[in-house]
A and B are shown apart, each in its own frame.
Chain A
C-alpha cells in the first residue's frame, strides 16, 4: 500500500485562514450563537459571470479548493471528493421558499440546479476541467471523513495519484432556525474564549470550507502523512477508550505514541463528556488541543481540525489559542484527531510528521 500525504491546504472559516502564510497569529473572538465565515474577496478567484449563480457555500468551496491546489503546486487533480452534511442549503431554501410563495407556480431553474449536494464538487471539476472521479458524501457529521476514507483507499491502492478532498457546509437562514428550534444551537450568545465553560446545551453554529490535496507522492512542501482514519456511527462513552486503543493498535501504535490529541469539544454540556473521558483518562498525559471555539460547529467542522493538524505538523508550532492543557512536546511527530457530534458519528484520524 502506498503512503498518503497532505500536499496542499485551503481553508475558509470564521478565522482569516484563507491566507496560508498565517497560522492563527491573529484570532477573531466572537460572542454569538451563530457565526459566519470571514469572506475572502471571491472576485479574486472566481470570474463574476461564473460567480453570479453561486451561493455562499459554492463560492467558499471553489475558493478553498483553488487555494489548496495552488498550495500543492499542481494545476489539476485526478479526482474531486467532497463531504457536506447539509449541502447547498441556501439554494434549497430559496427554491422551496419560492415554491411556497408562488403557490407552486413560476419556478425558475437556477436555485434548483444549484441546490444539489454535488454542486460544489461539480463546479470545482468544471472549473478545473477535471473529468475524473467526482463524488460527494452526505453522511451528516462524518461526511468529510467519508470523503477522506474514499480518497485514502484510492491513493493507497494507487488507483489515483492526486485527489482534492474537502468539507463544506453553509449556514442557511431557515436551517439555522430549525436547529434553534430543536435546541441544537445554544439559546444564548457565548464568548468564543468561554465556550467550554458555557455549561449549557447546544453548540455555536457556523459554516466553512476546508480543502486538501492528498497525494501518494511526497513533496518537499508536504504537510503530513495520513496514517489512517476510522468512523463509528454509534459508540458509547464506555467503549470509546477501547475503540481508540484498538484503532491505534491496528496502526501499530499505542497511546504513548501520540504526541498531540486534537478534540472536537463544542461546549455542549450533554456531549462534551465524550471528550472528557479521553482528556481526563487515557490521554491525560498527552498534549491536548481543541478548535471549535475558533471555527464553530457544523457538520464538516472536522475538516477544520484536519487543517489544524496539517498546519501543526508542518510548522511544528502550537498556537496558544488551541491549547486545552499545559503539556508541551519537543516537536510533534504524531497527531490523533477525534470528533463526535451529539454522541454519534465518531471519527479518529491519525497523522504523522513527514
Chain B
C-alpha cells in the first residue's frame, strides 16, 4: 500500500498541477479538500476520472467519493480493496 500512496501523491501533483508541492509535503492523513491540500470540486472530478482510468474503479454513488477522497490514506485503502488494474 506504501507504493500506492506514493504513486497517488505523484499523480495528484502532476494531474492537478500542484507545481509548488513535493510528495514529501503531502502527509498520508492530510485532508485533500478544504484546509489540507485545498482541492475543490473540479479536482474531485479529476480524481474520479483518475480512479476509473488508472485503477478501473467506477464510482457509482457520488456520496462514496466524500469518504474515499478524504486523504491519501483513504484513497489508497479503497484502491487496494477495489482496484482492477
Contacts and interface: CB of A to CB of B under 8 A. Distances in A.
Interface string A255-292: 00000000000000000000000000000000000000
Interface of A: 48-49, 52-53, 102, 105-110, 113
A108 B49 contact: yes
Secondary structure class of chain A's binding surface, majority of residues: loop
18 contacts: A48-B20, A49-B38, A52-B16, A52-B17, A52-B18, A52-B19, A53-B42, A102-B53, A106-B49, A106-B52, A106-B53, A108-B45, A108-B46, A108-B49, A109-B45, A109-B46, A110-B42, A113-B42
Contacts of A49: 38
Contacts of A105: 53
Q: In the complex, which range does the number of interface residues on chain B fall in?
A: 10 to 19
Interface string B8-44: 0000000111111000000000000000001000100
Interface of B: 15-20, 38, 42, 45-46, 49, 52-53
A53 B15 CA distance: 10
B85 to A, nearest CB: 12
B55 to A, nearest CB: 12
A108 B45 CA distance: 7
A100 to B, nearest CB: 15
Contacts of B18: 52
Given A48-B20, A108-B15, A108-B45, 17 more contacts: A48-B19, A49-B38, A52-B16, A52-B17, A52-B19, A53-B17, A53-B42, A102-B53, A106-B49, A106-B52, A106-B53, A108-B46, A108-B49, A109-B42, A109-B45, A110-B42, A110-B46
